[in-house]
Structure 1
Amino acid sequence: MAYESLAGVILAGGKSTRMASQDKGLLLFDGQPMALRVALALEGVADVVFINANRNIELYRELGFEVISDVERHHDKGPLSGLFTCLQRVETSHLLVSPCDTPRISTAAFLALQVASIEKPNQIHYLTGESGFHPLHAILPTNAALLKLDGFLEQKNRNSVMAFYEFFGCASVVWGKGEELLNVNTPDELS
């Protein structure tokens, strides 16, 4: 499989339990919704950008992007539910994903993933930095990943993103700008 085209998706479908169940993607960071900040970075590399959300759908649409909600199949598998849904919906050779709660992520970080995927298009590539693995910043070959993920999720208690990547075949892309990988999980981190 060759790298031909790229869809980007912001994963904003979580329950946000550590943020008092507030929808993290809609919370403001430096005056903008976090999901919008991520979407703008994705636009610099992806052919089309979507938001994966399961609540506040209209508010997400107001950000200017199509919203994809999780399908019933595998709906209770955490971030892998969103990944499965988006792999089903996009029509590109590759899918670039990012969580909604990393508002400092840059287009350059996504470009690094794209370059890795162009060089080795049959693998999943994800970011890693000083703070560890960042598996939800990743690029996947769409059709092959969908097929393998469906089988992976059929097995009981298989909800780990990294376990799926290792099952599929993956490689990390080192990103040295750790501040861009800030994951906002508490209200204090919004300022």
Structure 2
Amino acid sequence: MSRVLGVILAGGRATRMGGGDKGMLPLGGQRIIDHVVDRLGPQVGGMALNANGDPARFAGLGLPVLADSLPDWPGPLAGVLAGMDWAAAKGADAVVSAAADTPFLPRDLVAGLQAAAGPSGLALAASRDAEGKLWRHPTFGLWPVALRDDLRAALEGGLRKVVIWTDTHGAGTAEFGAEGFDPFFNVNTPEDLEAAEALAVRA
């Protein structure tokens, strides 16, 4: 099986939470990002964190901190690219991304993405809402490092929307079932954090 590394995307500005690092907020006796690390870590051969600004604030995690290689907050694809470059330097074949504010991500995320990978090796995670509509989650994907130069060129050309690039490369869609709630529930607002506290008891 190919060697897969993980990258936790924490490069956003968290404007709906008043700024700062959402992943560092307390949840269920830990921080949100600790839940992400606990769930993703066993699935990959190593992890890094994509974040901008002073990396010292994440020192307690013991993870490499990768800044975006492109300026002006170009979005999650820049974090994916940073992860792909890091994974390539480590000799890995692919990287799996996960958002730092999503504490209940599937414990079989990597296996599900690998099983659904398209011809290029790309895959995005997806789940269904209460009405049964399937939603893709672009910050949760399997990204072959062989495509990193193509992604870099696309970003330098102004591309920002994840699914435009992944659709161009025929990405597969890995559907994950709910466990009484959406496993990709993410904390964007103070109200979401309250809801996550209730979910943490069940997760």
TM-score by length of 1: 0.88
Q: Deviations over 1:24-48 (max 9, x none)?
A: 1111221222122111111111000
1-structure distance, mates of 2:101, 2:23? 6
RMSD: 1.8
Spell out, residue by residue over 1:91-135, the C-alpha distance to the aligned partner (whole angstroms, 9 max, x if none). 310100001111011322333113334xx5733111111131111
For 2:167 and 2:3, the matched residues in 1 are separated by 24
Q: Deviations over 1:134-168 (max 9, x none)?
A: 11111111122x02101211323x10011111122
Flag structure 1 segments of 5+ consecutive residues without an equivalent: none
> After TM superposition, what 4+ stretches of structure 1 lie above 2 angstroms from structure 2?
73-76, 114-117, 120-123
- Select which of 54, 67, 73 maps to 1:76: 73
Matched, 1:48 2:49: no
Distance 1:179 1:32 in 2: 20
Residues 98 and 121 of structure 1, relative CA distance in 2, 3 Å threshold? farther
Contact 2:50 2:79 in 1 (8 A): yes
Aligned residues: 184
1:64 corresponds to:
62
CA displacement 1:5-41 (0-9 Å, x = unmatched) = 0110100011111110021111122122212211111
| Contact kept? 2:122, 2:166, Cα under 8 Å | yes
Letter in 1 for 2:79: G
Q: Give the percent of matched residue pairs that are identical in Structure 1 and Structure 2.
A: 28
**What's 2:155 paired with?**
153
Partner of 1:86: 83
Question: 2: distance between equivalents of 1:18 and 1:170?
Answer: 30
Q: Secondary structure of 1:126's partner?
A: strand
Change (3 A) 1:56 1:19: farther
Does the CA contact (< 8 Å) of 1:53 and 1:67 recur in 2?
A: yes
CA distance in 2, matches of 1:67, 1:141: 20
Offset at 1:70? 1.6
Tell me, in whole angstroms, the C-alpha distance in 2 between the residues paired with 1:99 and 1:108.
15
Distance 1:37 1:135 in 2: 20
Give the corresponding residue for 1:31. 29
Change (3 A) 1:41 1:183: same
Give yes or no for contact 2:123–2:171 (8 Å, CA) kept in 1.
yes
